[in-house]
Amino acid sequence: MAARVLNVNVGVLGHIDSGKTALARALSTTGSTAAFDRAPQSRARGITLDLGFSCLRTALPPQLGLGPGELQFTLVDCPGHASLIRTIIGGAQIIDLMMLVIDVTKGMQTQSAECLVIGQIACQKMVVVLNKIDLLPEGKRLSAIEKMTKKMQKTLENTKFSGCPVVAVAAKPGGPEAPESENPLGVSELIEVLKSQAYLPSRDPSGHFLMAVDHCFSIKGQGTVMTGTILSGSVSLGDNVEIPALKVTKRVKSMQMFHTPVTYAMQGDRVGVCVTQFDPKLLERGLICTPDSLHTIHAAIISLKKIQYFRGALQTKAKFHITVGHETVMGRVMFFSPAPANFNEEIQENVFDFEKDYLYQEEYLSKDSVPSEENKENDQAGEVQLPKQQWALLEFEKPVACPKLCLVIGSKLDTDIHANTCRLAFHGVLLQGMEDKNYTETFLPKLKVYKQKHKEGQVERVLDDYSVIGRSLFKKETNIQIFVGLKVTLSTGEDGIIDGGFGQSGKFKIRIPDGLKPDTKMVLTSASKKKSKGGKGDMTKEDESRKNDSVQPVTISLTFKRYVFDTQKKMIQS
């Protein structure tokens, strides 16, 4: 029986040219298909253009309590080039432990910070690696390392990685042009630290098979090999797998893990799957899965949180780069929150309730938001009251294939790559996908997101004790008939009902079921008399006071809600 092998996926992330590939090379004992900058343009430019994979095998550490066996660290070398952050986000979904590689001579840089953000979203543990210590003058090396270590610990103290290990290395002393005979510094210490940070990742072989393919190539006489990491479920020899992007199903002919033939692989494993009669040029990267288990969606509802380092508001109708599944597509967003009365209600995690009403938001609510009229109802001290959960409707420019409850990241990747700013805007969980391309007609009407509407007008004059004429609530061309029966409130406290139009200029009649208060009638009557003539003569102080009060018009308030996706555009009042 073969010795037990536990696979832990380690993401090697950091800013461009921080030495990630050199570090992965120094650590690894076995290279995978996409390892070590195979792409010609990648080697020429000295940067990693795609996820590279290699592995390091060592004895299982005693803290795992698994007995004899091997611990395999699969090293995922993520590109540091700013325009390739899409690839990093795709890779982050398969990472158990993260190594953040920092050029010790430069410290935290733009992409290092973005990698840290991705790590906080997708990863549980991290090790900081201060690389290129050979570039520090020998006499000042120890103090410089100590200074940078303290700086990194300070940077991380308010993140989930507070107190994580910091290790100093020189993965390739002398730089890229140095001879291979140069031994790396600090790498054996780093391996010990990685072993100390290893944990038993949560792995579940049940459920549908789903694998993120990052490389596809043919072997003469064998077939086409797709290599990648299994995101969920398991796969065995002879299973049928689907390539959903191409709507093609193929049978698994053989499998390998780092050049060793296997008959079975499960969630978390890195594996090469061989199929026949398939052109590798059709799929460089993407997803393969159990047939009919992955759905192609045109829109989605997600729960989300804003990334704290993103500057600026997240606005409804804005477009973002949406990374979902293993793809990045453009998508338009609409934000919404619980109805104000339910702001503090506990929300069931990863479930969306279509029975509830939700409030449309012009932007994602944060402590920097300007309070809206609806929010002011709950406002305590001029601050925006923040709900426990917010959601977004994402509408994709082109359909994407993805599993349920997958990670979603929204970014502004078109921001200047040289600007010192975080381009990652929000992250969330996909709760509901919309497969029908006519989802605006078939699905969205079920989503009860409403806008609170508020209109104000003025009472022009009194008709009798139970009715008044109003103006300035509607435009001349408005069809007042659709507002008949809606309730209004006068600023003097009476409740009324719109009874119909009055004339052709947008005026309307309001019925007051309980009748006008005497004071209201007096104010309105005196205002009308003042308009018509304005009487002269002796006035008592009481009359003068009443005259001054009459200067304030009596306003009419009409409040209703309208559901955003209601095709009939009904006006609803509670």
Question: Each residue of 233-264: pLDDT tens digit?
Answer: 999 999 999 998 888 999 999 999 877 899 99
Model confidence at 48: pLDDT above 80 = no
Provide the pLDDT for residue 491.
96
Within a domain: 558: yes
Provide the strand spans (E) within 254-318. 254-257, 260-262, 264-266, 270-275, 286-289, 295-306
**Same domain flag for 311 and 374:** yes
Provide the pLDDT for residue 111.
78
pLDDT tier, 36 (very low <50, low <70, confident <90, very high otherwise) = very low
pLDDT tens for residues 198-228? 998 888 888 899 998 878 899 999 999 998 8
Compute φ and ψ for 183, nearest 5 degrees: -80, 135
Query: What tokens does 401 get?
Result: 């294939």
Q: Is the C-alpha dihedral spanning 118, 122, 126, 129 positive or negative?
A: negative
Q: Is the C-alpha dihedral spanning 410, 415, 418, 421 positive or negative?
A: negative
**Same domain flag for 416 and 513:** no
Q: What mean pLDDT do residues 34-43 have? A: 40
Within a domain: 571: no
**Same domain flag for 443 and 525:** no
**Same domain flag for 285 and 347:** no
Model confidence at 141: pLDDT above 70 = yes
Provide the pLDDT for residue 531.
61
**Closest alpha carbon to 387 in 412, 415, 362, 367:** 367
Provide the pLDDT for residue 550.
45
If you ran DSSP here, which 8-state letter would residue 181 be given? T
Q: Are 461 and 524 in contact (CB under 8 A)?
A: yes
CATH number for position 432? 2.40.30.10
What's the angle, vertex CA 263, arms to CA 260 and CA 266, rounded to 5? Answer: 95
Model confidence at 521: pLDDT above 60 = yes
Provide the pLDDT for residue 53.
64
Query: What tokens does 58 get?
Result: 């060592």
pLDDT tens for residues 389-413? 999 999 999 999 888 888 899 999 8
> Looking at 404, 426, 447, which one is the last position of a domain?
447
Within a domain: 113: yes
**Same domain flag for 244 and 340:** no
| CB-based burial label for 294 (10 Å; 0-12, 13-18, 19+) | buried
**Same domain flag for 438 and 308:** yes
d(CA 252, CA 166): 42
| CB-based burial label for 475 (10 Å; 0-12, 13-18, 19+) | exposed
**Same domain flag for 52 and 189:** yes
Q: In whole angstroms, how far apart are CA 430 and each of 26, 176, 203, 393?
A: 38, 42, 21, 10
Q: What mean pLDDT do residues 174-198 have? A: 86
Q: Are 422 and 298 in contact (CB under 8 A)?
A: no
Q: Are 129 and 24 in contact (CB under 8 A)?
A: no
For the chain, percent helix, then strand, then coil, each to nearest 5? 20, 35, 45
d(CA 36, CA 57): 17
Strand, coil or helix: 385: coil
d(CA 122, CA 346): 24
> Position of tokens 């997708």?
122
- Taking the CA atoms of residue 338, residue 344, residue 349 and residue 352 in that order, the dihedral angle to the nearest 10 degrees is -20
Provide the pLDDT for residue 566.
95
> Position of tokens 């029966």?
485
Model confidence at 44: pLDDT above 90 = no
Return the minimum-mean-pLDDT range out of 155-164, 397-406, 428-437.
397-406
pLDDT tens for residues 326-344? 788 999 999 999 998 888 8
- Residue 81 CB coordination number (10 Å): 18
> Looking at 422, 447, 472, which one is the last position of a domain?
447
Q: Is the C-alpha dihedral spanning 248, 250, 255, 259 positive or negative?
A: negative
Stated as kind and residue range, the H or E segment containing 407 is: strand 407-411
Strand, coil or helix: 148: helix
pLDDT tier, 29 (very low <50, low <70, confident <90, very high otherwise) = low
Q: What mean pLDDT do residues 536-560 have? A: 66
Query: What tokens does 84 get?
Result: 């390739």
Within a domain: 569: no
pLDDT tens for residues 87-135? 555 555 668 899 999 999 999 987 788 888 888 888 889 999 999 999 9
Provide the pLDDT for residue 369.
74
Strand, coil or helix: 73: strand
pLDDT tens for residues 187-203? 999 999 999 999 988 88
**Closest alpha carbon to 406 in 423, 424, 394, 422:** 394
Return the minimum-mean-pLDDT range out of 7-16, 44-53, 296-305.
44-53
Within a domain: 314: yes
Bridge-based pairing state of the strands 295-306 and 286-289: unpaired
Within a domain: 570: no
**Same domain flag for 159 and 54:** yes
Within a domain: 380: yes
> Position of tokens 């940067």?
47
Model confidence at 70: pLDDT above 60 = yes
Return the minimum-mean-pLDDT range out of 302-311, 461-470, 545-554.
545-554
Amino acid at site 188: S
Model confidence at 481: pLDDT above 80 = yes
Structural domain count, the chain: 4
**Same domain flag for 99 and 173:** yes
CATH number for position 486? 2.40.10.190
CATH number for position 16? 3.40.50.300
> Looking at 274, 289, 304, which one is the last position of a domain?
289
Strand, coil or helix: 518: helix
**Same domain flag for 322 and 378:** yes
pLDDT tier, 179 (very low <50, low <70, confident <90, very high otherwise) = confident
**Same domain flag for 418 and 350:** yes
Q: In whole angstroms, how far apart are CA 202 and each of 95, 193, 234?
A: 12, 21, 14
Instruction: Provide the phi-psi class of 38: left if phi over 0, else alpha when psi is between -120 and 50, else beta.
Output: alpha
If you ran DSSP here, which 8-state letter would residue 63 be given? G
pLDDT tier, 418 (very low <50, low <70, confident <90, very high otherwise) = low
Model confidence at 510: pLDDT above 50 = yes
Within a domain: 262: yes
Domain that holds residue 519: 453-533+540-563
d(CA 532, CA 522): 15
Query: What tokens does 40 get?
Result: 């010609």
**Same domain flag for 350 and 494:** no
> Position of tokens 């002011």?
376
Averaged pLDDT score across all residues of the chain? 85
Bridge-based pairing state of the strands 319-324 and 286-289: unpaired
Q: What mean pLDDT do residues 508-524 have? A: 94
